[in-house]
């Protein structure tokens, strides 16, 4: 029952939102931004496990790079402090640069991998870095009841 | 059936929940009550103006011109850090959208099972393991989320703030993850400025007394040095000194242990039966580096970007055909199809987030 969409435009215009899955944060290493790589059951019929895990792992690596505390972050911090943080009026912080890379990566993943399978990833920054929201779309022609068809098993173990 | 798409741009900060005020197109974010913040500004600017007007000319001539220069630099840093603390987003967590809130509710219900009628359901807590310690995450009924570790809900601003320290009325804002280091640097530079002004006021009075004799210094005649103002400055500095230097010392202690004021007040990590602080690196320098030299975290509330709300209006046509592209709005042969709700589709949020400036 795989629904085929050729691009994001087609998805937008001919699909209806069936469900949303939320990938939660993984706090085992502390408060640094990291998402769980556990494969949700709702996506089992939609996408291969390895593709999903690759996406989440790459995102985790991006966030680790942004939040790394090392030479570069010290330099940036000290320079900014010495100029009373006025330097950020003209310069972009390292975190913002990485966030732009992440947004590009998510856009590319959506176009190449997720949209053809009727899925869409929302950038976690839009949700306060709490969850990765994956929207599951159904083809309007094929689904009988489009809104609120929740097939959540509710058993994503905690 | 064909759909007509209408887009409407709405500034996100116009519809944000929470009791904050925004200025400069969403760039400036403060709490609602700003009276004490204006008092802080007045005290700092007022005292420094008196110092520059009355003490500095004498000291520059009789001691060194570097004294006022250094005072000006300190003063500018204090104001810069104060404004940065007051105007920046402390790390407010956006509230859960309805779908996320429902998803969490369903998870909670599944976890709780059937609660017999009349019995209170168990408290909404999620246990996570951080550095081999179990930390409890509480559920926020206002924001409808399980708060991340170290986040807390500020009742004054009505927002959940990440790494919530405290709500500071002097600064007119919450102190959280994004502005804690500016707040600390503000208290530090203000302590230095207060000590500096206090010390040089004393030096000034002593020098004048040596020059003119103490009683002449006290006498005030038109055209001579106004002693009353110095007294005023000394009093302000004296009272400020104890509070601000004390506060700086307290926050230095907190930073060395990687704790927040909130955790310290609640006693989260103190006591024998409680767990140890799982966020501390057990090394003072590492803790200080993480808090003061860590990365500059981004805003979660995108108050500058526009949210493109798409309204999909299903238009009725006689015979549903996917190829028909001419909408005829009000011809009804069939019963009216339900209007689809506004769809803030994920991909538009992605587009706007790339285009956002802050």
Tokens of A27: 């706090």
- Asked if A20 lies within 8 A of B103 by C-beta distance, the reply is yes
Biggest alpha carbon distance in chain B? 105
The predicted-structure confidence for B282-317, as pLDDT tens digits, reads as follows 889 989 988 888 888 888 876 444 444 433 333 333
* Measured distance CA(B311)–CA(B325) in Å, rounded: 18
Give the mean pLDDT of B220-243: 79
Question: What CA–CA distances, in Å, run from B336 to A121, B183, B328?
Answer: 33, 58, 13
| Most B CBs within 10 Å, among A7, A11, A20, A27, to test the B interface | A27
User: Which strand (E) or helix (H) includes residue B250?
Assistant: helix B227-257
* Measured distance CA(A106)–CA(A110) in Å, rounded: 6
Q: Which of B264, B258, B248 is nearest to B283 (CA)?
A: B258
Closest chain A C-alpha to B72 CA, distance in angstroms = 14
Q: Which of B168, B288, B289, B293 is catalytic?
A: B168
Instruction: State the pLDDT confidence band at B12, using cuts at 50, 70 and 90.
Output: low
* Nearest by CB: A20 against B80, B99, B128: B99
> Does the pLDDT value for residue B88 go beyond 80?
yes
Cα nearest neighbour of A136 on chain B = B346
Q: What is the CA radius of gyration of chain A?
A: 19
| Most B CBs within 10 Å, among A29, A111, A112, A125, to test the B interface | A125
pLDDT tens track of chain A, all 158 residues?
444 555 555 555 667 888 889 999 998 888 889 999 999 988 888 899 999 999 999 999 999 999 888 888 888 888 888 887 888 888 888 899 999 999 999 999 999 998 888 899 999 988 889 999 999 988 765 544 444 333 343 344 43
Residues 6+ apart with CB under 8 A from A157: none
Q: Where are the domains of chain A?
A: 16-27+46-139
Picking from B23-27, B223-227, B231-235, which range would have the lowest pLDDT averaged per residue? B223-227
Tell me what pLDDT residue A61 has.
95
* Interface contact A49, partner B, CB < 8 A: no
* Interface contact B235, partner A, CB < 8 A: no
Tell me what pLDDT residue A11 has.
59
pTM of the model: 0.79
Cα nearest neighbour of B150 on chain A = A31
Picking from B152-156, B247-251, B275-279, which range would have the lowest pLDDT averaged per residue? B275-279
Residues from chain B contacting residue A127 (CB–CB below 8 Å) = 94, 97, 100
> Does the pLDDT value for residue B188 go beyond 90?
yes
The predicted-structure confidence for B144-180, as pLDDT tens digits, reads as follows 999 999 999 999 999 999 999 999 999 999 999 999 9
Active site residue B288: no
Tell me what pLDDT residue B196 has.
94
The predicted-structure confidence for B92-125, as pLDDT tens digits, reads as follows 998 888 888 998 888 888 887 777 777 777 778 8
Query: Which of A137-151, B267-281, B312-326: highest mean pLDDT?
Result: B267-281
Instruction: State the pLDDT confidence band at B228, using cuts at 50, 70 and 90.
Output: confident
Q: Where are the domains of chain B?
A: 17-95+158-300
* Interface contact A86, partner B, CB < 8 A: yes
Tell me what pLDDT residue A151 has.
39
- Asked if A123 lies within 8 A of B81 by C-beta distance, the reply is no
Instruction: State the pLDDT confidence band at B134, using cuts at 50, 70 and 90.
Output: confident
Closest chain B C-alpha to A60 CA, distance in angstroms = 16
> Does the pLDDT value for residue B243 go beyond 90?
yes
The predicted-structure confidence for A44-89, as pLDDT tens digits, reads as follows 888 999 999 999 999 999 999 998 888 888 888 888 888 878 888 8
Give the mean pLDDT of B72-100: 92
User: Considering chain B, what is the average pLDDT of its residues?
Assistant: 79
Instruction: State the pLDDT confidence band at B87, using cuts at 50, 70 and 90.
Output: very high
Residues facing residue B311 across a β-bridge: B6
Question: What CA–CA distances, in Å, run from B145 to A31, A137, B17, B112, B152?
Answer: 16, 24, 14, 17, 11
The complex scores an ipTM of 0.78
Instruction: State the pLDDT confidence band at B342, using cuts at 50, 70 and 90.
Output: very low
Q: Which of B13, B85, B82 is nearest to B48 (CA)?
A: B82
Tokens of B327: 């909408």
Owner of token pair 């390292």: A94
Cα nearest neighbour of B147 on chain A = A130
* Measured distance CA(A128)–CA(A41) in Å, rounded: 24
Tell me what pLDDT residue A68 has.
87
Owner of token pair 């009727």: A118
B233 against B71, higher pLDDT = B71
Tell me what pLDDT residue B99 has.
87
* Interface contact B93, partner A, CB < 8 A: yes
Residues from chain A contacting residue B76 (CB–CB below 8 Å) = 84
Tell me what pLDDT residue B281 has.
86
Phi, psi of B129 (to 5 degrees): -105, 120
Tell me what pLDDT residue B25 has.
72
Tell me what pLDDT residue B72 has.
95
Residues from chain B contacting residue A27 (CB–CB below 8 Å) = 128-130, 135, 148-149
């Amino acid at each position: 029952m795989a629904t085929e969409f050729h691009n994001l435009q087609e998805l937008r215009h001919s699909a209806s939102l069936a469900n949303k899955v939320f990938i939660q944060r993984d706090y085992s290493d502390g408060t640094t931004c990291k998402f769980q790589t556990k494969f949700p059951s709702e996506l089992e019929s939609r996408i291969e496990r390895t593709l999903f895990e690759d996406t989440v792992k790459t995102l985790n690596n991006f966030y680790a790079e942004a939040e790394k505390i090392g030479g570069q972050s010290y330099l940036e911090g000290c320079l900014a402090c010495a100029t009373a943080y006025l330097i950020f009026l003209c310069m972009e912080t390292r975190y913002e640069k990485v966030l732009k890379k992440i947004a590009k990566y998510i856009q590319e993943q959506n176009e190449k991998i997720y949209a053809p399978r009727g899925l869409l990833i929302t950038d976690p920054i839009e949700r306060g870095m709490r969850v990765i929201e994956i929207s599951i779309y159904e083809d309007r022609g094929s689904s009988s009841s489009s809104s609120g068809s929740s097939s959540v098993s509710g058993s994503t173990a905690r | 059936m064909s759909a007509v798409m209408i887009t409407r741009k709405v500034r996100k900060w116009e519809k944000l929940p929470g009791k904050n005020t925004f200025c400069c197109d969403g760039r400036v974010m403060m709490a609602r009550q700003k009276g004490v913040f204006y008092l802080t500004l007045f005290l700092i600017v007022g005292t420094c103006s008196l110092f520059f007007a009355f003490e500095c000319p004498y000291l520059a001539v009789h001691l060194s011109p570097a004294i006022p220069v250094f005072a000006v630099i300190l003063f500018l840093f204090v104001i810069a850090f104060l404004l940065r603390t007051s105007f920046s987003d402390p790390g407010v967590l956006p509230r859960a959208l309805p779908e996320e809130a429902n998803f969490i509710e369903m998870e909670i219900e599944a976890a709780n099972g059937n609660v017999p009628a009349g019995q209170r359901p168990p408290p909404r807590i999620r246990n996570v393991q951080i550095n081999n310690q179990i930390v409890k995450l509480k559920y926020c009924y206002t924001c409808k989320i399980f708060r991340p570790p170290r986040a807390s809900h500020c009742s004054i601003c009505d927002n959940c703030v990440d790494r919530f320290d405290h709500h500071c009325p002097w600064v007119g804002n919450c102190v959280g993850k994004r502005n804690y280091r500016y707040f600390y640097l503000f208290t530090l530079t203000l302590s230095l400025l207060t000590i500096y002004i206090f010390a040089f006021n004393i030096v000034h009075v002593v020098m004048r007394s040596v020059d003119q004799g103490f009683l002449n210094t006290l006498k005030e005649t038109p055209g001579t040095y106004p002693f009353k103002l110095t007294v005023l400055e000394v009093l302000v500095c004296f009272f400020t000194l104890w509070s601000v230097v004390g506060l700086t010392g307290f926050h230095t202690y907190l930073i060395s242990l990687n704790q927040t004021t909130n955790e310290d007040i609640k006693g989260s990590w103190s006591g024998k039966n409680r767990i140890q602080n799982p966020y501390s690196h057990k090394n003072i320098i590492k803790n200080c580096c993480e808090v003061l030299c860590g990365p500059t975290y981004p805003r979660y509330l995108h108050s500058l970007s526009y949210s493109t709300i798409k309204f999909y209006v299903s238009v009725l046509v006689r015979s549903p055909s996917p190829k028909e592209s001419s909408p005829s709005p009000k011809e009804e042969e069939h019963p009216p199809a339900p209007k689809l709700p506004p769809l803030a589709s994920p991909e538009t949020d992605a587009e706007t987030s790339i285009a956002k400036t802050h």
